[in-house]
Structure 1
Amino acid sequence: MSNPSNTEHFVAPFEEGVAFEELQDAPPRTGYRPSLTGWIGIAVVTFWAVIALAGPWLAPYGENALPFPDAYEEFQVPQAGAPLGTDVADRDILSRIMYGAGRTIGISLAATLLAYTLGVVLGIGAAVSGPKVDMVMSRINDAFLSLPTIMLGLVVVAAIGSSIPVLIATAGLIYATVVFRLARAIGMEIMVMDFVEAAKARGEGRWWIITREIWPNARMPLITDFGLRLIYVILFTSSLSFLGLGVQPPQADWGSMVRENLGALQYGQSIVPVLAPALSIATLTVAINLIVDDVSAHGGGRLSGRM
């Protein structure tokens, strides 16, 4: 006769409903529900996205049109027919901001996408390719990281020439080095987790591990960083335009608009020609930062918190 005290604690190895905790579970995947600050950021970003896409059709005047051709005068104050006044060439500031939104946001977004395409592919590739390949790729990346971003951008643009494709390629390649380091760090951390080791033990291939284990768990931290990287690229391209090496006149761009209209401050005239494009950059970057903070606080998980 068996001892009841021993059988009470016996559990069949394959009994249904029994939880096995030998392997660590992958982090849960939850949807994003914006908070109040998140909704404010989304509203502002949506507004600028609409302006960037439809600005040329919504603008009251052409990009270089003069709202008062019969009374040419630079830096006219806001008035009927020119709600934000005119710039150094008596062009409508509101229209140029709406035209410039497409270039500022479009160039920055394209450069950020290029940086993430290169950085994530190479970074995760380095994390799963073994120590020798990882060391070579990391040392090359560190060499480029040691160069100041603005100085490197100035050298490249000054040597090749300023154009929109050059700006996109320059900013994308410069910030791909930062994305590489982040993607590699996240990939290396996920590679040593138990659920990846279990996938290796099952005989899963490298591509399966990347797409089914690494990417789903690295997605949230990378999305969080994408917004921050977009802010840096906006400021970088605007800085190049402010220095005269970005978008060239007569094309409108927020950074170049600030540079063109600095004379309004020097001679004590209207501050709107400088303040309007500067506020456009500020509102867009702050709104993106609000969304990034909200996404990170909501579902970043352990990896995002450590970042």
Structure 2
Amino acid sequence: MQRELAKAPVSAWFGMIVIVIYAICAILAPLIAPHGQAEIVGRAYLPGGLHADFLLGTDQIGRDIFSRLIYGARNTIGVALIATLISFFVGVTVGVLAALNRGWFDQIVSRIADALLAMPALIFALMLLAIFGKGMANLIVILAMLDATRVFRLSRASALNVVVMDFVEAAILRGEGIGWIIFKEIIPNIVAPLITEFGLRFCFVFLTISALSFLGVGIQPPTANWGSMVSENKSLITYGNLTPLYAAGAIVLLTVAVNFVVDWLLNKTSGLRDGH
């Protein structure tokens, strides 16, 4: 691991450093943020600066933008991570089961996945949130289930190449249980593409949450999240105020950082080398 990290390109190192900084902000938000995420600390739209009372100023109702950015890392990234983990557990498990049981179960699940994949994720999420409500739990479950269809497709395709191997046949003949075959025989042999896909799925879920919050149906106020922070202050752009760009920049930076790391991992697992 140390040798691989030492040979990692500058872009991968940049991505890993950014991810670590974001993770620290998310985990230690109450200790790092000078104010609470919903605390009104001054007048609206106070200017920021190194010598000002508030580093990045205040928002439309007088909350500290710097503090809300830090708490936004915890809320936005946390929800995206939980949704991605659930989608992978469901998608990988069902995908491997479908590859093992290539009969009616595979056909039914595959057709359901095809139907869900045919619908634009953002529009479908908007419709489901309108039906079931805008709560945090609903948001996580809806995004996880929508993303699980894409994970299902990848895990099923990868598992189909493994289930025909001799060691899987031997495990079946030994009488091993389905859980053992899935988690001990198949998944360890398809983990490389799944790791890469995890980074990409996290980015898509993260951006979808930001988009839904921007539209007002994602993470609800007063909980700080970057999508709603852009929406709440977007009109300031017309006056030359850069306040909306702080949260937008945080979204872009994390997305680029994760993609840098994913590109590096993809090159490592696929055997590709730069310049070839």
Q: TM-score, normalised by structure 2?
A: 0.89
- Decide which of 118, 134, 151 is 1:162's aligned counterpart: 134
1:128·1:191 contact (CA, 8 Å) conserved in 2? yes
Q: Distance in 2 between matches of 1:210 and 1:32?
A: 31
2:90·2:148 contact (CA, 8 Å) conserved in 1? yes
Query: Which position in structure 1 is the counterpart of 2:110?
Result: 138
Write the deviation string for residues 104-123 of structure 1: whole angstroms up to 9, x where unpaired.
Answer: 01100000011001100000
1:84·1:93 contact (CA, 8 Å) conserved in 2? yes
- Decide which of 162, 176, 193 is 1:190's aligned counterpart: 162
Query: Which position in structure 1 is the counterpart of 2:191?
Result: 219
Q: Distance in 2 between matches of 1:301 and 1:123?
A: 25
Q: Distance in 1 between matches of 2:209 and 2:3?
A: 30
Q: Distance in 2 between matches of 1:270 and 1:77?
A: 11
Q: How does 1:48-63 map to 2 (within 5 A)?
A: 48-63=22-37
Query: Which position in structure 2 is the counterpart of 1:177?
Result: 149
Closer, same or farther: CA 201–247 of 1 in aligned 2, 3 Å: closer
- Decide which of 7, 13, 17 is 1:43's aligned counterpart: 17
* Unaligned stretches of 5+ residues in structure 2: none
The structural deviation recorded for 1:217 is 1.2
Write the deviation string for residues 179-232 of structure 1: whole angstroms up to 9, x where unpaired.
Answer: 1111111011222345545x3686464634433432111011101100100000
Q: How does 1:1-307 map to 2 (within 5 A)?
A: 33-34=4-5, 35-36=8-9, 37-67=11-41, 69=42, 72-74=43-45, 76-78=47-49, 79-193=51-165, 195-197=167-169, 199=170, 203=174, 205=176, 207=178, 208-266=180-238, 268-271=239-242, 273-300=243-270
Closer, same or farther: CA 201–154 of 1 in aligned 2, 3 Å: closer
1:52·1:102 contact (CA, 8 Å) conserved in 2? yes
The structural deviation recorded for 1:292 is 1.0
1:75·1:264 contact (CA, 8 Å) conserved in 2? no
How many residue pairs align between the two structures?
Answer: 267
The structural deviation recorded for 1:141 is 1.4
Q: Specify the code of the residue in structure 1 equivalent to 2:247.
A: P
Q: Cα RMSD between the aligned structures?
A: 2.2
1:75·1:85 contact (CA, 8 Å) conserved in 2? yes
1:63·1:252 contact (CA, 8 Å) conserved in 2? yes
Q: Who wins on radius of gyration, i.e. which is larger?
A: 1
Query: Which position in structure 2 is the counterpart of 1:4?
Result: none
Fraction of identical pairs, as percent: 40
The structure with more helix, counted as a fraction of residues: 2
* Unaligned stretches of 5+ residues in structure 1: 1-29, 303-307
Q: TM-score, normalised by structure 1?
A: 0.81
